Amino acid sequence: MKITSNKETFAATPEKVFNVLIGFAKTEHVPSIPQVSDWKNLENGCQFTIANMLTCSMLLLDQAPFSRVVYQIGTDKGISANATFHIHDFGDQCEVQIEAEADAPLFMQAMIKTPIEQAMNKGLAKLKEMAERM
């Protein structure tokens, strides 16, 4: 199942956004994201719980400097996805969009697509806030 976020224009260079993305999963301080708890740093990523219901792991899978970052996402509910962050260069600004290819049972896809889209858009807004502060 393919899921795509909104496109968001950042007042930050592609390099700043890229550095936030590759450093995000390795950060020593937990980003302040509502409903996220039990943050653990892993060797090449992180693990956390959302709303005390779903435990997720995010592992850095691939990267192309200043243009693309791919994370492998897994959950304790048997849902997995690859999330690709596309960064389009516009000089001192850039446009970012997330594409996820989720592996979920067919009967669950209709139920989870909208909540995942909403979570991706919230995550994109948080990424924008972090990159623009740098």
pLDDT tens-place string over residues 60-95: 999 999 999 999 999 898 888 999 999 999 989 999
Tell me the one-letter amino acid at 40: K
When pLDDT is cut at 50, 70 and 90, the band that residue 52 belongs to is: confident
**CATH number of the domain located at residue range(s) 2-133 in this protein:** 3.30.530.20
- For position 25, what pLDDT does the model report? 61
* Cβ(60)–Cβ(86) below 8 Å: no
User: CA dihedral in degrees (124, 109, 61, 56; nearest 10)?
Assistant: 80
- pLDDT computed for residue 88 by the predictor: 97
Q: What is the pLDDT of residue 96?
A: 98
- Six token digits for residue 110: 């209709």
The residue extents of the domains of the chain are 2-133
pLDDT band at 112 (very low <50, low <70, confident <90, very high): confident
Q: How confident is the model at residue 28 (pLDDT cuts 50, 70, 90)?
A: low
- For residue 108 the two structure tokens come to 């669950």
Write down the residue that tokens 């302040």 correspond to: 32
Is residue 22 within 8 A of residue 69, CB to CB? The reply is yes
In this predicted structure, what is the pLDDT of residue 46? 86
Q: pLDDT category, 31, cuts 50, 70, 90?
A: low
* β-pairing verdict for 68-75 and 80-90: antiparallel
Average the pLDDT over 16-36 and give the result: 73
Per-residue CA distances from 72 to 83, 91, 111 (Å): 6, 29, 21
When the pLDDT of each residue in the chain is averaged and rounded to a whole number, the result is 88
Residue 66 contacts residue 48 (beta carbons within 8 Å) = no
Residue 125 amino acid letter = A
